[in-house]
């Protein structure tokens, strides 16, 4: 299965992607993790991405697409993948469809995790305390939520309009949210 996880910062994409990876036995590909690894390794790409990420902005489409193409052609996605953090704007959504069309691996489903803004802020404040991620500071979180509403929210309609969207309530325990996602993936039983 080729699954895209959508949702605002703090909606639980990374958290649920880890569970889905185990359940579906496919790789979890997170553009956030790929970018953080490049920053940590001090590569040229990481140097370009670092300041943008810390401010809560989006890294340039070209950089992220190049990095993603390299990852999707690594040879381990024959049974599918869980893509987390991409696409984040309409240009990325179109680029992803074009890339996966070329690879003959179109997206099967996009799962949108719905969580209200106050709870997102609470969760990210919790992670800021626990992990000290630079982009979980209150200013960066405000910026990330603005970027999400302006640039990423239209991506939900992109998948809705192409009949590939499932919306899931992302509020509740992590295992409860996971069960809701799994329920959207199960084939509908035939009646009669
Ligand atoms: P990401 O790494 O994608 O960060 P994120 O949106 O915060 O999601 P994450 O997966 O980490 O958090 P989650 O909701 O699981 O991106 C970071 C930055 O990288 C971006 O701002 C951007 O600069 C750059 N970037 C990444 N992709 C890009 C792209 N395509 N284009 C351009 N730039 C890109 O979890 C958050 C917290 O909530 C955790 O502490 C978790 O424990 C908690 N939580 C989760 N589920 C919960 C639940 N059910 N109940 C209680 N707490 C829960």
| Distances from the Cα of 117 to the Cα of 72, 95, 135, 141, 182, angstroms | 32, 28, 17, 11, 24
Q: Which of 4, 6, 7, 12 to mutate to test the pocket of ligand 1 (most atoms within 8 A of CB)?
A: 12
Structural domains for the chain: 2-27+80-185 (3.40.50.300), 31-73 (no CATH)
Q: Tell me, yes or no, if 142 is annotated catalytic.
A: no
106-125: string of b/e by CB count within 10 Å (b at 16+)?
ebebbbbbebeeeebbebbe
Output the CA 97–ligand 1 centroid distance in Å: 22
Distances (CA, A) of 158 to 75, 87, 94, 152: 28, 10, 9, 10
Phi then psi for residue 86, to 5 deg, are -145, 135
Average pLDDT of the chain is 95
The tens digit of pLDDT for each residue in 87-132 reads 999 999 999 999 999 999 999 999 999 999 999 999 999 999 999 9
Write down the catalytic residue from 2, 19, 71, 88: 88
Rounded Cα distance between 51 and 84, Å, is 21
CA of 10 to the centre of ligand 1 (A): 5
CA separation for the pair 10, 114 (Å, rounded): 10
The rounded distance, in Å, linking the Cα atoms of 190 and 128 is 46
Rounded average pLDDT over 62-90: 97
**What is 61-105 written as a DSSP string?**
HHHHHHHHHHHHTSS--TT-EEEES---SHHHHHHHHHHHHHHT-
Taking the C-alpha atoms of residue 74 and residue 6, their distance in angstroms, rounded to an integer, is: 23
pLDDT at 109: 97
Give the residue among 150, 145, 188, 147 at the shortest CA–CA distance from 166: 188
pLDDT at 189: 61
What is the pLDDT, as a whole number, of residue 186? 78
Confidence of residue 135 (pLDDT cuts 50, 70, 90): very high
Ligand 1 atom nearest to CA at 68: 30
Provide residues with CB under 6 Å of ligand 1: 9-15, 30-32, 35, 52-53, 56-59, 64, 85-86, 88, 92, 123, 126-127, 135, 144, 174, 177
Mean pLDDT of 18-40: 97
Ligand 1 center–CA 144 separation, angstroms: 10
Q: Say if CB 137 and CB 128 are below 8 A apart.
A: yes
């Amino acid at each position: 299965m080729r699954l895209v996880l959508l949702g605002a910062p703090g909606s639980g994409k990374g958290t649920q992607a880890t569970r889905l990876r185990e359940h579906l036995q496919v790789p979890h590909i997170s553009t956030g993790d790929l970018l953080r690894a490049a920053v940590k390794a001090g590569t040229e790409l990481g140097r370009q991405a670092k300041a943008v990420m810390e401010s809560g902005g989006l890294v340039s489409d070209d950089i992220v697409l190049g990095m993603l193409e390299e990852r999707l052609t690594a040879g381990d996605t024959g049974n599918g993948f869980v893509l987390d953090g991409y696409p984040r704007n309409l240009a990325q959504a179109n680029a992803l469809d074009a890339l996966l069309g070329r690879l003959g691996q179109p997206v099967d489903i996009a799962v949108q995790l719905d969580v209200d803004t106050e709870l997102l802020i609470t969760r990210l404040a919790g992670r800021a305390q626990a992990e000290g991620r630079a982009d979980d500071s209150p200013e960066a979180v405000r910026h990330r939520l603005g970027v999400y509403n302006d640039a990423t929210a239209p991506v939900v309609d992109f998948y809705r309009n192409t009949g590939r969207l499932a919306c899931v309530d992302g509020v509740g325990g992590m295992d409860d949210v996971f069960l809701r996602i799994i329920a959207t993936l199960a084939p509908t039983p035939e009646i009669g």
